Every structure is written in structure tokens, then in C-alpha cells.
Structure 1
Amino acid sequence: MNFQDIIGQERIIENLKRAFKNNKLSHSYLFQGADGIGKKMTALAFSKALLCKEKGEEPCNRCSSCVKFETGNHPDFFLIQPDRDIIRKEQIEDVISDINFKPFESSRKIYVIDDSQKMTREAQNCFLKTLEEPPDYAIFFLIIGQNMGLLPTILSRCEIIKFFPVRKDELEKFLISKYKKSKEEAEFISSYSKGSVEKAISIASSDEFVELREETIKIITDIVEGNSLKPFTSMEFFIKNEKKKEEIFNIILYWFRDIYLYKELKKKDLIINKDKLKLISDQTFLDIDKINDIIDNVQYTKNNVDRKANYQLSIETMLLNIQEG
């Protein structure tokens, strides 16, 4: 893990390096922003640099500290992650117990708490005293999403650094150079992933998403164009891909969003599915009210499924509603 692996967060990285160089590090940082835009990667790369025996702004990648960090065996680095979607009080108690011991190999001990908003209230209260009076050698990185979800007393003791989605043009260049994507492919992936590098890499490095997208669009297009049997004959696809339901809903929502925008504004630069522009144009025979109804219906179904409604019945109803208009 190195700073060079992170794209689009150069300003934040330079500020962290400057604080390190000038010996003005905070004891606790809170990295806030959308998922997949480099918060955790930045925390890991900076932790590696802080523990490196060469004491430079960049990790040397050669010393015993860097080697141990990369293999997950550094005795002065700790990554705390949710257990069954929460961070329990017992996990924080383990941190508090460990922090009483001085570093083993370096001058610092570093604790990265991923998805820190998932700490229970008991865990946060337990953590607070340590955050108020940390040992000189301790540094905390709290990774958090868009919604804070932390006690104000914790927030007030952290230096909050906001991460923003990676710019579309930067993401496109990255996809073209590293994943050998065409300009058209890179444009679609960067638009669809909304500035999330993690999401873009996931799409670019697997054919699975391409197949899922193609089949989903084909099913929806057939239904819109009047194939009365499609809502029933396509159910096998939806059942087989239930674990990918979040992606399927997004593909459908972005598809009708594009039809709406192209029908209303005729602006290609606003379209996510630019590689399907001809097909989108063909479906602008739908009236605006119908498109809005479909979008509302799909979003309603997605919300219901998220709340544990019966998946198969919800999908059947959604497809029939799309067909009937």
C-alpha cells in the first residue's frame, strides 16, 4: 500500500505529508466521505509511512517495518473492523488494553477504525476517554461514510478531513492506462461509479458486471417494447442473481434516468449509458409521466426489498408495473 496507489486525493495526501514533515501530526484523524474513494487506502498508506524505519514522507517498501506492514504482521499497527456489521464495546476494550503498552518496534502505535460509525453507543463511550487523553505515541484514524453517526464528543476531538469523489476525467485516465479500457468504456464506468475508485476497479476488472448489465437492459427493453411474457420468463435471471440485486436495481434506475434526461434535454454529456445511446434514443417514445412512474416504482421496490420484503414477489410486481404503465 503506497500513496501512488491512490488517485484523486493528492491535496489531502500532501497536507498529511506536510504535517508529518513539520512534526504537527494530530492524535486523531477522522476521514469522512463516500465509500470507495480512498479514505481507508490513505489511512493505510500514511500509517505505513509513519511506521517506516527510514522516517521519510513515503514508505521505503524495503525495511522490516514496511515488509511486516504489507504482510499484516506489524506489532504497532491495528485495524479494527465491524464484526457482523457493528463494532462492539469489547473490540474497543481490546484497543484500550493494548494502548497501555508502548510501541514494540517504532516510535508510534497506529489504530485504524474502519466504518467507525458502526461503533455501538457503548463502544463510543468506552473509546472517548482514550481519545481525550491518548498516549503521545498513539495515532487514531477513524474512517467514516457520509453520515457521521458518532457522538459529538468524539467528533470534537478529531481533525476531520473530508474526502470527495474522484473527478470523472481522472478516473477515465486511470481506467484507460491501468485497465486498458477504451474511451467509451472508461466514460461509462467513471459515470456509473460516481467517483468511487473501488467501484470503478470492481467493474473494470471483471466481466461479471458487463454480463449482468447487458442482460438486465435487454429484459427491461423487451418489457418496455411490449413483450408480454418477459416479466415471467425473466424471473429465473432475477432469482439467480438475487445476491446482485443492488446492482440490478441501480442498472435499471440509471437506465430510465438516462431515457428521461435524453428525452427532455437531448444532452449526451449527462447520459451515463453513453455506449447505449441509440437504444436510449429508441425508447424516448415513452412519455415523461410513464418514465417517472417507472423510476418511482423501481425505487419503491428497491426500498421494500431492502426492508426484507419478499424478493421474488416484489420483482414480479415491479416488472408487471413497468409493462402496464
Structure 2
Amino acid sequence: MRFSEIPGNQEVKQKLIQSVKCGRVSHTQLFLGEDGSASFPLAWAYAQYISCQDKEEDSCGKCSSCLKFEKMVHPDVHWVFPVTTGKGTHPISDHYISEFRELFLKNPYSTESQWYTHLGTENKQGFISVTEATDLIKKTSLKAYEGGYKFVLIWHAEKMNTPTANKLLKQLEEPPEKTIFILLTPQQERLLTTIISRVQITKIGILSDLEIRNFLTDKCIGAEVLNQAVQLSEGNISEALRLSEGDKANKENTKRFQQWMRLSYQANILGITDWVDEISKLGRERQKVFLQYALHMTRESLVRNFASIDLQRLTGEEQDFTQKFSPFINENNAIKLIEVLEKAHYDIGRNANAKILFTDLSLKLVLLLRIKSLSLQST
């Protein structure tokens, strides 16, 4: 992975390149960026640039080190990521490295949800275990195979539980000689404060509409699909790629959300029960994606009510729906609606019983959608 292959974030690229040229590479770094952003490719390109044998303003892409990085097989790079139960009693990243390479060589902007889908473990929650930390400590205590730097890239570092994070604390504070840790996360607040205090943070930004457009131009997609992907992706590269491929899951979420809102407003308890039965059959990651979509539609309805319609980022079908739905989202129920949806998203991630959660959430929506606005005016 070379910096030139990654769209946007020019300032971040220059900062990383200059840190290498000036010999000021921090031994423990945190790349903070949205899931599906350029954070993973940038960490990959950064490690490749440091190890490149003929680097200038970018890695050469031709030396033996770069060729190994391109295939994610460099012996001095340790890829760490959330895993699920299924391969042995104490699964670690090495058990799933083939699947990880397969996914990220195909799409380096893959999300956590796409990773679990690729594994076929949507109903299970990923984790980075103490066993992983113990294994890492052993690996980093060894000399580099090729005599240069050793790298530990921890994708979704927030998946480390407290015992795992505590076990790695000393390594992060005082890594073995010529060892660089790069942690990647979209949620800094879920990391221990003791870890945050030990890392140098690099914030990875979202892309502008123009950068997304330029990135997708080479994908051979129609003008209408391209425009829609640019408008709806909100600067997220993975989302833009998903939309450009005509994602079926998004259409299913649209239909599912509209049905849910109609049933809740009608207080159709039998219909809600059937709806809950159906969504409970989905994997947890798909349930989390759906709740994220519900939050998105709630916020877009607020935009329609209190700001310009031009600011909405919706498909034609979604715009038609929010025109009718937005009057039921107002200043008296919006905050509570967002709170209960966010809590449900959090609880699903903590292995809450899906049937109980969605039944409870639906009954709350029955009440909240009936709260009327006192003074709904456009500003």
C-alpha cells in the first residue's frame, strides 16, 4: 500500500512522511478515524514507507520489503484484529490471518461489520483477548527477521478488554527496540485513559465530496449511481464503495425502517411482534447496522424540519418517506428518540437479547411518535 493509492488526507500523509525523514517516529501511535475511513490503509502505507529500501516522497513499491507489504506477508508486521470464537479454545489473530488478508487485499477500507460477515460470524462479538496480548509480547521480544523495524498494527483497538489492555501497557509505554505499535480505532473513548496517555494521536479525516467523486470515477459506474454515492457517503470511503455497488442491504434497511415506523405509529402490537421476530433472526452486526440506519433517518428528518432540504443526504425513496415522516420527529421527542436508539445500539453490542430489546424499543416508539410538536417552524 502506497500513500499515492489512498485518496484525501494529504496533510496527514505529509506529516507521516516528514516524521520518517526527520527521524521522529513515535514508538506508539493511535490513528483515530471512522470505521471504513482511510485509517487502516494509511497505517499500512506508513509502515511500508518506513521499511522501504528506496523511499523518496512515497515507498517505491518495487523493493523486496514493499512487495511483501503489498501482499501483507512481511514477517516483521504483526496484524492484530478482533476475532470470534470458533477456531480453538483461545482464538487469536494468527488463526484468522488468511481470511483477514483475503478481505483487506480486496478492500482495504473494509469495516468491522464487513469483517464479521466475511467470517460468517455475524451473531458473535469480536474481541482481542489476553491470549493475544501474551502472544504479542513473545513476538515483539524477538529480533526483526529482516533487521529493520517490527510493526504491530492493532485494528479496532477498542476491542481490547481491560485485562488485555493492562497486559499490553508496559509494551506500549516501553516497546522493545525498533518496535512500533500503531493502534487504530473509531472510538477513542472506549480505550483506557492509561493507553491514551501513552500514544501519539493522528486524526484521520473524512473525504470531501470532490475527493470521493475523484476516487469513484475510475470504478466504471453510472453518473446517477456516482452522484448518489457521493451525496450519501458523507465522506466515508467504505460507504461510498458500498453505495457505488448498489448495496442490497441498504434497500432492505429502508423497507424495514419504514415498516417499523408505520407499525409503531399505528400501535399495531401484532404487527410489531411479527416485525420483531423477523429482525431477531438477523445477525447482531446487521442489527447494529439497522439501528445506525434508524439513527440516520431520525437525524435526516430533523434536518428536513429545522434546516434546508438541500442539506439532506437521502435517496429519492428516502426523501419521499421523510416528507411524510418528518412531522412526527420534533423538538419534543427527537432527543429522547435518539437516546433510546443509541442505547439499543450499545446494548446489542453488549449481547442483549434481540427479541426483548426490539420489543421494548418498539413500545417506546409507540409513545414517542405520538408526542406532538408545539411550534414546528423552518429556520
Paired residue for 1:12? Answer: 12
What does 1:226-241 align with in structure 2 at a 5 Å threshold? 230-231=271-272, 234-235=275-276, 237-241=278-282
Q: Does 1:178 align with 2:219?
A: yes
Q: Hey, what's the Cα distance between the residues in 2 that align with 1:152 and 1:231?
A: 42
Aligned partner of 1:199 among 239, 256, 265: 239
Tell me the equivalent position of 2:60.
Answer: 60
Q: Answer whether contact 1:184 1:274 (CA < 8 A) is retained.
A: no
Structure 2 residue matching 1:49: 3-state secondary structure: helix
Deviations 1:145-173 (A, max 9, x none): 33245555544443222223333443344
Q: Is 1:112 the equivalent of 2:153?
A: yes
Specify the alignment match of 2:296 in structure 1: 254
Please give the residue correspondences for 1:86-101 in structure 2 after superposition, counting only pairs within 5 Å. 86-101=127-142
Query: Quick check: 1:160 aligned with 2:201?
Result: yes
- Which residue pairs with 2:76 in the alignment? 76
| Cα distance, 1:91 vs structure 2 | 2.9
CA contact (8 A) 1:176 1:186 kept: no
- Alpha-carbon shift at residue 101 of structure 1 (Å): 3.2
What's the CA shift string for 1:71-109, capped at 9, x where partnerless? 332221111234444434443343333334332224222
- Aligned runs of 1:123-134 on 2, under 5 Å? 123-134=164-175
Superposed CA deviations along residues 14-63 of structure 1, whole A, max 9, x for unmatched, are 11111222333222222223322222221111112222232344233333
Return the offset for 1:10.
1.6
Are the structure 2 counterparts of residues 162 and 225 from structure 1 closer, same or farther at C-alpha, using a change threshold of 3 Å? closer
After TM superposition, the structure 1 stretch with the greater mean CA deviation from structure 2, 36-45 or 288-297, is: 288-297
Query: In the alignment, residue 189 of structure 1 is paired with which amino acid?
Result: L
CA distance in 2, matches of 1:49, 1:321: 52
2:354 maps to what in 1?
A: 311
Q: Give TM-score scaled by structure 1 length.
A: 0.79
Partner of 1:189: 232
Q: Structure 2: where are the runs of 5+ without partners?
A: 85-125, 371-379
Which of residues 165, 177, 185 is equivalent to 1:144? 185
| One-letter amino acid of the structure 1 residue matched with residue 252 of structure 2 | L
Alignment gaps of 5+ in structure 1: none
Answering whether residue 38 of structure 2 is matched by residue 38 of structure 1, we say: yes
3-state DSSP class of the match of 2:143?
A: coil
1:242 and 1:134 map into 2 onto residues whose CA distance is 38
> What amino acid is the match of 1:47?
A
In structure 2, the residue matched to 1:245 is 287
Q: Taking structure 2 as the reference length, what is the TM-score of the superposition? A: 0.69
CA distance in 1, matches of 2:290, 2:139: 44
Q: Secondary structure at the match of 2:188?
A: coil
Distance 1:114 1:197 in 2: 17
The 1-side partners of 2:255 and 2:275 are apart by 10
1:267-278 aligned within 5 A: 267-273=308-314, 275=316, 276-278=318-320
1:219/1:76 CA distance change after superposition, 3 Å = same
1:111 Cα deviation from its structure 2 partner:
1.9
Corresponding residue SS for 1:104:
coil
- CA 1:179–1:29 in 2, change beyond 3 Å: closer, same or farther? farther
Q: What CA RMSD, in Å, does the superposition of the two structures yield over aligned residues? A: 3.5
Query: Which deviations, in whole Å up to 9, do the C-alpha atoms of 1:221-257 show, x marking residues without a partner?
Result: 6547859575356456424435421222233332233
SS at match of 1:288: coil
CA distance in 1, matches of 2:34, 2:362: 31
After alignment, is 170-179 or 243-252 more displaced? 170-179
Flag the structure with larger Rg.
1
- In structure 2, relative to structure 1, the CA distance for the partners of 1:5 and 1:223 (3 Å cut) is farther
- Aligned to 1:247, what secondary structure does the other structure show? helix
**SS in structure 1 opposite 2:279?**
helix
What displacement does 1:185 show? 1.3
Q: Within 2, Cα distance between the matches of 1:286 and 1:133?
A: 55
Cα gap change, 1:178/1:106 in structure 2, threshold over 3 Å: closer, same or farther? farther
Cα distance, 1:99–1:47 mapped onto 2, change above 3 Å:
same
